[in-house]
Amino acid sequence: MPLTDPALPRHDWTLAEVEALYDLPFTELVFRAAEVHRRWFDPSEVQLSRLLSVKTGGCAENCGYCSQSQHFETGVPASKLMEVQSVIAEAAQAKAGGAQRFCMGAAWRDLKDRDLPKVAAMISGVKALGLETCATLGMLQPHQAAALKEAGLDYYNHNLDTGPDYYSTVVTTRTYQDRLETLAAVRAADISVCCGGIVGMGETRRDRAGLLLALANLPEHPDSLPINDLMPIKGTPLGDSEPVDGLEFVRTVAVARLVCPKGVVRLSAGREHMSRELQALCFLAGANSMFVGGKLLTTRNPDEDTDAKLFTDLGLRPMGSGAAAEPVAAE
């Protein structure tokens, strides 16, 4: 191991090393992740984001977990791209509810140039409210990423979904390399990368380790790393998937914290069916971001009152709302 300080970022992880972290005794793994978390972040702070579907349904991709694919009968109708002012109004409401970042998602295989001006206007309008901006619009070309950056985009979400060996089991309409090329275009445009994956799709622990290995060995670690717990959707190929064990989910959060120590690790989809105690373990293991609001694209999320009580009971606060701890790690 070329770096002796475990809190310093690395980009040369091996699959055996990541698997060895997973295999640690649970309490030891969580303890190590909590230590690294405290080197870079105030453990009492959680970054809050709100997600809005600005274009729902009719997607040409066949991602096996997604209710918005045109390949599956899920009861989600296709809609047109929302109007700019409606998106800005939703963002203003999200800010009033305590959100710090506003994420706009469109069910597209890729962004078309004809839609670029309207999307750019959404981003500029949300940015003007004082919110961080995030978008997930499918695959991007370099010139499109540059235009989104000019409009004020702070983050672009493009998940790897799972490890490379399991990927073709989940989706066949685009390749792992397609996703990596979009991430490269985003980085080249100087947009922060939001990239993670989903657990509970029938993958093995090795596949989960493969996902985190791919993220850790990117040229730059994701600035935001969402860990989604699959929300099975009736009508999709993964609609009858068995849920991943809760402790295994916490292990995944902890390993993500250890291999990407400076990334903001987000509890994304799936909190609706997590207990308060499981979410608390995730925060202990290094998670420090979550989506707020009662809906994530087409699936449910805990309501604001439920999350407010959780924050109170755990002694958490929104990121940046109090005195932040000074990180002691140095690059």
Catalytic residues: 59, 63, 66, 103, 134, 194, 266
Looking up tokens 């935001």, which residue turns up? 224
Spatial separation of the C-alpha atoms in residues 134 and 102, rounded to whole Å: 6
Instruction: Tally DSSP H helices, then E strands, for the chain.
Output: 11, 12
The two tokens of residue 283 are: 């925060």
**Cα 151 from chain centre:** 22
Looking up tokens 């901006």, which residue turns up? 133
The answer to whether the beta carbons of residues 239 and 232 sit under 8 Å apart is: yes
Residue 89 parent element (H or E): helix 84-96
- From residue 257, how far is each of 63, 70, 105, 212, 215 by CA, in Å? 26, 35, 25, 10, 11
Looking up tokens 């997590």, which residue turns up? 274
Alpha-helix runs per DSSP H in 152-226: 167-170, 176-188, 205-216
3-state secondary structure of 278: helix
Spatial separation of the C-alpha atoms in residues 152 and 229, rounded to whole Å: 30
Which residues have C-beta within 8 Å of that of residue 323, sequence separation ≥ 6? 42
- From residue 138, how far is each of 61, 102, 141, 220, 252 by CA, in Å? 10, 17, 10, 20, 25
Half-sphere exposure of 257 (CA within 13 A, CB side): 30
Looking up tokens 């977990």, which residue turns up? 65
